[in-house]
Each structure stands twice: as structure tokens, then as C-alpha cells.
Amino acid sequence: MSGSDEQVIIDDIVGKLGVAIQRRYGRTASVENVTIATLGASNRTLLFDLVEGTQRRRLVLRQETVKSEFSPFISTADQYRILGVVYSHDLPVPEPIFELEPTDGLDNGFVVACVEGETLPKTLLTDPTLEKARNRFAAQSGEILARLHAIDPAEVGFLESTSDSVDPLAAQVARYEGYGNCFPGIEVGIRWLENNRPAPSQRKFIHGEYRNGNVILGPDGIRAVLDWECAHIGSAMEEFGWLCMRSWRYGNIDQPVAGFGPRSELYSAYEANGGETVDEEAVRWWEIFATLRWAVINMMQIDGHMSGVRRSLPFACCGRNISMVEYDMLMAIKGNYK
């Protein structure tokens, strides 16, 4: 898709969004100061001001843009329902404002309040103004995840039927095979995962993609947890495996918790805030599982680029990422990564 084609799409979205706003807030309401977030691999993020007379509020429109029968992401409708549940438990997420309806003509999506802060991973790890937030990240993440996992899964019971809730390994293998790829290292990893499954554990409501890049940080710490499209019911240890995967350390490989800090701070804070005792062997299995899952997501992105559904240099680079993740998987299995 060319830049001009994308602009036509954005202009159409903004026009329809303006009508949707007026339908909810009155004929005098308007949409101004529209910007498109530069990051985001799976969803469109459009920031805008809702203007009502002299009042102005910064909001965010989120829309699914990747359409695939093998997509690992839940619908935007379910994401909005999840935000409502999590927000009601006073966890740090953007306030849900409204969900789009068919009459809005925008296919899918929802609007939430804008939370100011930084999300760019390398900036989070290097910006001097975020030093205090970096020092708090591992422990604060442990607290947030403990509070999230304390939510009764029945409150998000609609997630029980998703493939990731039923059998996450089988779900990833099905997606891998669906894209028709064959990577020897990944094949070895799949066999290892199948032969070394951890014992079943208590099922929790989990975020599924909690990591560096999916949180908003301010100088004092984590302001909001974003990107709930992978939420499901599963093992709490899966959360730690994903968070500590080597890819999310962004070069700070000696700091396993997303490049910010040691596992001990994460685990201690999680347990101190009511979380279950961390099973480090299970976390290792889930961390190796995370490399499979991340490889499959990269397959989805390169497939979108090659098919022409959504062409871009970042998605093209996802093709190369697969071999890098394949290497990480083998090294993790061998025990070379901490």
C-alpha cells in the first residue's frame, strides 16, 4: 500500500470518526489535532482531540488492521470488554470511552482516554528522565501482574473458548503450520516443548503480552498497560516467560525483566502482592514457548507484507527476525540464556 493510499484511508477514518463523535456528543462536537502513532504491529492507533465547546480531551482510537485466519489476536470487541473489567479493578489501563458500532461505518475498534508518557522501548531503557521508572519497573510489574491475576477468570469467561486458553502450544503449532513455513530450529523447539510440558497449574486471567513496549512509562513508573489483544485464561508463569524473553531486553541482556531489572525483584513483588509462588522451571518452559509464539507473530507480519495486505519495511524485516528468534530458541533450550 502506497503512502497516498494510506492517507486516503486515514482521511476516510477521520471523517467517519467525526460523525461517530457527533452521534454520541452532539452536533457541535468535533475531532481535531489528529495524529497516527508510529508504532504498533497489529493495530492502528489514531490520537485525536474531542472538542466540545471550550472543552478539549485527548482520546485514542484503536482498530484492528491485520486480518488473518491464523491471527493470534482477539477481536477489538473483546479487547474493549477486557479493558472495562480491568479498569473496574483500578489497574493502570486507559479509561474505556466507547466502542464503535456498525452504524459508525468503521468496521471495528474502540476509543479510550489518552495516557501521556513514553512507549518506545529503547527510549524507556535510556532516557535519563525515566531512571526512577526503570529502577521500579521489575517490582512494579510484579505488583501489577499479581493484581491482574487476582481477578476472577469468570469476569472474562468469554475468553475460555479461545484457542490460547484451551491449549496455547497447540494453538501456536496450528498457526505455524498454517503459514506453511519450515524452520529446523523451530521444529526442534516444538518437539522440546511437547515433550517437557510443565504440570498443570491454577488458571488465571493473564494479559498475554506484557512486555517492554506495551506499557506507558512516566518519570515515576508505569502509567498504563496497553495492547490486550492476546489476553486469555492460562498459567501465570506464561506471563513471566513472555516478559523475560531475550527479544524484549533490547540489548540489556543481563537484565532479564524486559531489560530493566533482575527476575528476583519481579518474583518477590509478585509473591508479596498475593501472587502464587513462582515456579522457575515452569517459567523457563514458558520462556522457550515465548520464542515460538514470537516467531509465529513474525510469520504473520511478513505474510501480510508479502501478500500485499499491509506492506511496509518493518513488516518486511519481520522475515529476518524469524531466524534470530529461532537462534534464541535453540540457545534457551541449551541453557545458554539466563
Indicate which CATH number applies to the domain containing 217.
3.90.1200.10
Highest averaged pLDDT of the listed ranges 33-42, 104-113, 312-321: 104-113
- The predicted model scores a pTM of 0.93
Residues 109 and 139 in one domain: no
Res. 6 pLDDT band, cuts 50 70 90: low
pLDDT for the residue numbered 11: 87
Residues 266 and 187 in one domain: yes
For residue 293, pLDDT over 90 is answered with yes
Contacts of 143 (CB under 8 A, 6+ apart): 269, 270, 272, 273
Residues 171 and 308 in one domain: yes
Question: Considering 113, 133, 160, which residue would you say is the last residue of a domain?
Answer: 113
For residue 233, pLDDT over 80 is answered with yes
Task: Please write the tens of the pLDDT for every residue from 259-271.
Answer: 999 999 999 999 9
pLDDT for the residue numbered 38: 60
For residue 205, pLDDT over 90 is answered with yes
Provide the H-helix boundaries in the chain. Answer: 3-25, 76-88, 121-126, 131-149, 163-166, 168-178, 184-195, 236-243, 263-272, 280-307, 313-334
pLDDT for the residue numbered 236: 98
Nearest to 220 by CA among 143, 140, 148, 145: 140
Nearest to 303 by CA among 200, 176, 217, 204: 176
Question: Considering 89, 113, 137, which residue would you say is the last residue of a domain?
Answer: 113
pLDDT for the residue numbered 230: 96
Residues 81 and 139 in one domain: no
Residues 88 and 185 in one domain: no
Residues 102 and 130 in one domain: no
pLDDT for the residue numbered 68: 64
Residue 303 or 256, more confident: 256
Residues 14 and 149 in one domain: no
pLDDT for the residue numbered 66: 65
pLDDT for the residue numbered 3: 53
Task: Please tell me the distance from the alpha carbon of residue 172 to that of residue 178, in angstroms, as a whole number.
Answer: 10
Task: Please write the tens of the pLDDT for every residue from 39-76.
Answer: 555 678 999 999 999 999 999 999 987 666 677 889 99
Residues 95 and 151 in one domain: no
Task: Please tell me the distance from the alpha carbon of residue 228 to that of residue 313, in angstroms, as a whole number.
Answer: 25
Question: Considering 113, 131, 163, which residue would you say is the last residue of a domain?
Answer: 113
Residues 52 and 157 in one domain: no
Where in the sequence is the domain holding 236, given as residue range(s)? Answer: 121-334
For residue 215, pLDDT over 90 is answered with yes
Task: Please write the tens of the pLDDT for every residue from 154-182.
Answer: 999 999 999 999 999 999 999 999 988 78
Helix (H) or strand (E) run with residue 115 in it: none
The total number of structural domains that make up the chain: 2
Residues 93 and 161 in one domain: no
Beta strand 30-36 pairing with 55-64: unpaired
Residues 132 and 109 in one domain: no
Q: What is the CATH number of the domain that holds 15?
A: 3.30.200.20
Residues 104 and 128 in one domain: no
